Amino acid sequence: MTEIYEAIKRSAARIKDAIAFDDTGYSENINSTGDTQLKLDIKSDLIIEEEFAKVACIKEIVSEEKEGKTPLHVEGIYSIGYDPLDGSSLIDVNLSVGSIFGIYEGGFAGANLKAAVYVVYGPRVELVIAHENVTLYRLNQKGEFVFIKEITLGVKGNLNAPGATQMGWEPRHKAMIDAIFADGYRLRYSGGMVPDLHQILLKGGGLFSYPATSDVPKGKLRMIFEVFPFAFVYEKAGGAAINGKTRLLDLTPSHPHDTTPCFFGSQTEIERVKQCYAK
Ligand code: F6P
């Protein structure tokens, strides 16, 4: 596992430089989800693939930017699902973006996740590793990720990050979000799941939701690259993550790009979601 973390750290340092200095424009490619790829999406994906190719314990990888799996080492044991540059459409307005990694053993199912890592490219570059516990690292001027602290979520927080287009929310979802705000929670939402979930984790808790909507009934966020890794992080930090009713890590996608409605938060807020979606 350490070798994988080191490859992710090398990738993160290289991606940070690409974000800072490369062309932020669009390429002529369209990815498997139908999004036009930024040149930075393609470059970040190549950097990660290059670094993972050096690690013998990685059997296969699947990227949000590619349709299928890429085999790496036959003797490898880990399968890695990753989103090289999540929220990349925020780069042109200079907001924070991230990379997300799920490290699986025995196929891409929530139950097979062994560790999760994400990187936030903000004013500073931070990296979070979830394995037995959740730990925060920050990139220093020597290019090293220095341990900062262990992250744990409070039982109840005070931040609310309500995702997806409100026009398409179910009435029960809207009622729940309104009630949460009426209880004094503060809105914190940038439109990038990495910084939005990172903020809730570091500020003690709250709720991030990306529900089913009338136009996207299976949600937008992808299980393998986005949802499972963050569900793992939140659970290991003492919080919870569900699709409304079921624990996210109990789900198994039938296709690498399958999506799901998702809710991540502290125990109190997730209990509230369960009550709302039980109706
Ligand atoms: O999946 C990419 C992503 O940018 C997430 O980081 C973010 O939470 C979500 O999409 C926002 O999507 P939208 O702006 O379409 O609601």
pLDDT, tens digit, 9 for 90 and up, residues 101-127 = 999 999 999 999 999 999 999 999 999
Ligand 1 centroid to Cα of residue 97, in Å, is 11
Q: Among 193, 223, 262, which residue has the most ligand 1 atoms within 8 Å of its CB, making it the best to mutate?
A: 193
pLDDT, tens digit, 9 for 90 and up, residues 45-92 = 999 999 999 999 999 999 998 888 999 999 999 999 999 999 988 998
* pLDDT higher than threshold 90 for residue 22: no
CB of 41 closer than 6 angstroms to any ligand 1 atom: no
User: Which among 150, 127, 131, 151 has a CA at the least distance from the CA of 139?
Assistant: 127
140: Cα separation from own chain's centroid: 23
* pLDDT higher than threshold 90 for residue 195: yes
Q: Are 230 and 161 in contact (CB under 8 A)?
A: no
Longest CA–CA separation in the chain, Å: 54
- Tell me the average pLDDT across 9-37: 87
Instruction: Give me Rg for the CA atoms of the chain.
Output: 18
Instruction: Enumerate residues 6+ apart whose C-beta is below 8 A from 250.
Output: 110, 111
Measure the CA–CA gap between 279 and 277, rounded to whole angstroms: 5
- Given the DSSP bridges, would you call strands 240-242 and 262-265 parallel, antiparallel or unpaired? antiparallel
Measure the CA–CA gap between 35 and 24, rounded to whole angstroms: 15
Give the closest residue (by CA) to ligand 1 atom 16: 164
Cα distances (Å, whole numbers) of residue 28 to 17, 68, 164, 252: 22, 20, 27, 33
- Tell me the average pLDDT across 157-161: 98
Measure the CA–CA gap between 19 and 29, rounded to whole angstroms: 19
CB of 84 closer than 6 angstroms to any ligand 1 atom: no
And the tokens for 11? Answer: 């990738």
| pLDDT band for position 30 (cuts 50, 70, 90) | confident
pLDDT, tens digit, 9 for 90 and up, residues 238-269 = 999 999 999 999 999 999 999 999 999 999 99
With pLDDT > 70 as the criterion, what percentage of the chain qualifies? 100
pLDDT at 33: 72
Ligand 1 atom with the smallest distance to the CA of 163 is 16
CB of 87 closer than 6 angstroms to any ligand 1 atom: yes
The count of other CB atoms within 10 Å of the CB of residue 237 is 22
Measure the CA–CA gap between 206 and 197, rounded to whole angstroms: 9
pLDDT at 193: 98
CB of 164 closer than 6 angstroms to any ligand 1 atom: yes
CB of 193 closer than 6 angstroms to any ligand 1 atom: yes
CB of 166 closer than 6 angstroms to any ligand 1 atom: no
CB of 86 closer than 6 angstroms to any ligand 1 atom: yes
CB of 217 closer than 6 angstroms to any ligand 1 atom: no
| pLDDT band for position 4 (cuts 50, 70, 90) | very high
- Given the DSSP bridges, would you call strands 262-265 and 125-130 parallel, antiparallel or unpaired? unpaired
pLDDT at 57: 97
pLDDT at 8: 98
Q: Among 221, 225, 258, which residue has the most ligand 1 atoms within 8 Å of its CB, making it the best to mutate?
A: 221
Q: What is the mean pLDDT of the chain?
A: 95
pLDDT at 184: 97
Instruction: Enumerate residues 6+ apart whose C-beta is below 8 A from 7.
Output: 51, 52, 54, 55
The count of other CB atoms within 10 Å of the CB of residue 267 is 16
Ligand 1 centroid to Cα of residue 254, in Å, is 22
Q: Where are the beta strands (DSSP E) in 45-96?
A: 58-63, 69-71, 78-86
With pLDDT > 90 as the criterion, what percentage of the chain qualifies? 90
Cα distances (Å, whole numbers) of residue 268 to 61, 180, 188, 241, 244: 35, 11, 18, 12, 14
pLDDT at 31: 76
- Tell me the average pLDDT across 8-29: 91
pLDDT at 228: 98
